[in-house]
């Protein structure tokens, strides 16, 4: 089946975290039409139960696919992916790319064989993380920490608000303070919000740490799955869709524009 050049790629997250996935994808595929969807009415996912996320995400994505007819869906959220990816794939008739904690590249880069997984509370407790750890980091000590405050900090940063440096420091302390934390050399940022805070995390670290995330790998996957398809001849501004539009949403307008999203719509 041929794909229209104008058919967009749909990026989905609870908030603005998926922008860290959109950026490397746009770099690789500059003319890619984009719909960025944020479930602002359901934000944040990281403090919700598995049942809530598993019920909410497939239903929302069904509505979004019906409205925007994307060629591909990217669940640009570790929490939603580790909980609902298989359900979404079975429910939708378009290819779906998930975002999973970057344990494989973290293990490949670690010299001390102690790596951290920094994510949401929901993500770090998932059996999916256990499987990734067993598959790619069997010889590593893997420390996990969940931080809801760090998610909120990323949202505040993109709204242009002043940031409390203690939030990033406390999140890192949650890993460094664990047994073996003194040897940790690589941290997998297992929430798409966290690469948006790379500057803050680097500044908050008491010693040099390597931070890795899955953005570049997701971009390559999108490129691979759309090979042979036509794209528009020029880059058009993308659309940001929110399940709730309020003053917090409107405060994101400048940051959304910086990521090539010039129109805000409500779902």
Alpha helices in the chain (DSSP H): 19-28, 50-68, 78-91, 103-109, 121-124, 127-136, 148-158, 165-176, 198-204, 215-225, 247-250, 253-258
Please write the tens of the pLDDT for every residue from 247-256. 999 999 999 9
Do 141 and 164 have their domain in common?
Answer: yes
pLDDT at 246: 95
Q: Do 220 and 94 fall within a single domain?
A: yes
Do 92 and 109 share a domain, yes or no? no
- Residue 156: closest CA among 215, 200, 206: 200
Residue 127 belongs to some domain of the structure = yes
pLDDT tens readout for residues 23-66: 999 999 999 999 999 999 999 998 899 999 999 999 999 999 99
**Residue 8: per-residue pLDDT:** 97
Distance from C-alpha of 64 to C-alpha of 243, rounded to nearest angstrom: 10
Buried b (16+ CB within 10 A) or exposed e, 246-267: eebbeebbebbeebbbeebeeb
Q: Residue 229 falls within a domain, yes or no?
A: yes
Q: Which residue has the tokens 């501004």?
A: 237
Residues 220-224 have a mean pLDDT of 97
Summarize the confidence of residues 91-108 as an average pLDDT.
94
Residues 43 and 141 in one domain: no
Helix (H, G, I), strand (E, B) or coil at 209: coil
Kindly state whether residues 120 and 72 are assigned to the same domain. no
Strand pairing category for 9-13 and 34-38: parallel
| Residue 191 designated active-site | yes
Residue 188: give the domain boundaries.
Answer: 103-211
94 and 138: one domain?
no
Residue 2 lies in a domain: no
Predicted pLDDT of residue 19: 97
Annotated catalytic residue, options 77, 133, 158, 261: 77
DSSP string computed for 149-186: HHHHHHHHHHTT----HHHHHHHHHHHHTSTTGGG--E
- 15, 89: one domain: yes
Q: Is residue 37 part of a domain?
A: yes
Average pLDDT, integer, range 154-161: 97
Cα dihedral across residues 246, 17, 198, 223: positive or negative = negative
In this structure, the answer to whether residues 39 and 94 fall within a common structural domain is yes
Number of separate domains in the chain: 2
The answer to whether residues 71 and 119 belong to one domain is: no
The DSSP code for 34 is E
**Is there a domain that residue 246 lies in?**
yes
Q: If residue 12 lies in a helix (H) or strand (E), which one and from where to where?
A: strand 9-13
SS3 114: strand
Annotated catalytic residue within 22, 191, 197, 239: 191
| Same domain membership, residue 115 and residue 67 | no
Last residue of a domain, one of 196, 211, 226: 211
Average pLDDT over residues 142-151: 95
113 three-class SS:
coil
Q: Is residue 1 part of a domain?
A: no
Q: What pLDDT is recorded for position 152?
A: 95
Could you tell me the two tokens for 74? 């990217």
- Is 114 within a domain? yes
| 92 and 113 housed in the same domain | no
Give catalytic status of residue 77 as yes or no.
yes
Structural domain includes residue 3: no
Residue 135 — pLDDT band, cuts 50, 70, 90? very high
Q: Which residue has the tokens 């067993």?
A: 134
DSSP symbol at 240: E
Q: How would residue 136 be classed by pLDDT, with cut points 50, 70 and 90?
A: very high
Q: Which of 168, 190, 211 is the last residue of a domain?
A: 211
Position 163 scores a pLDDT of 94
Rounded Cα–Cα distance for residues 230 and 239 (Å): 20
Query: Do residues 81 and 154 share a domain?
Result: no
Per-residue pLDDT at 1 exceeds 80: no
Q: Dihedral of CA 133/134/140/144: which sign?
A: positive
What CATH number does residue 44 fall under?
A: 3.40.50.1860
pLDDT computed for residue 2 by the predictor? 81
Q: What pLDDT, on the 0 to 100 scale, is given for residue 29?
A: 96
Q: Which among 195, 211, 227 is the end of a domain?
A: 211
């Amino acid at each position: 089946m041929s794909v229209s050049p104008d058919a967009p790629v749909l990026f989905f997250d609870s908030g603005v975290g998926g922008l860290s996935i959109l950026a490397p994808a746009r770099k690789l595929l500059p003319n890619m039409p984009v719909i960025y969807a944020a479930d602002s009415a359901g934000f944040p996912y990281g403090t919700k139960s598995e049942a809530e996320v598993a019920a909410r995400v497939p239903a929302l994505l069904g509505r979004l696919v019906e409205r925007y007819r994307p060629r591909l869906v990217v669940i640009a959220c570790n929490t939603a992916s580790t909980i609902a990816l298989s359900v979404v794939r079975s429910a939708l008739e378009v290819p779906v790319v998930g975002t999973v904690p970057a344990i494989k590249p973290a293990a490949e880069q670690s010299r001390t064989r102690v790596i951290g997984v920094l994510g949401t509370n929901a993500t770090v407790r998932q059996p999916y993380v256990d499987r990734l750890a067993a598959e790619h980091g069997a010889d590593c000590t893997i420390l996990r920490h969940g931080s809801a405050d760090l998610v909120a900090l990323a949202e505040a940063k993109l709204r242009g608000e002043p940031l409390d440096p203690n939030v990033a420091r406390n999140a890192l302390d949650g890993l460094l303070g664990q047994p073996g934390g003194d040897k940790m050399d690589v941290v997998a940022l297992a929430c798409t919000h966290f690469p948006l805070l790379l500057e803050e995390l680097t500044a908050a670290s008491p010693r040099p740490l390597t931070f890795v995330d899955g953005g570049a790998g997701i971009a390559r996957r999108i490129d691979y799955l759309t090979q042979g398809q036509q794209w528009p001849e020029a880059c058009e501004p993308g659309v940001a869709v929110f399940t709730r539009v309020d003053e917090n949403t409107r405060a994101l307008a400048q940051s959304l524009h910086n990521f090539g999203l010039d129109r805000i719509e409500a779902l």
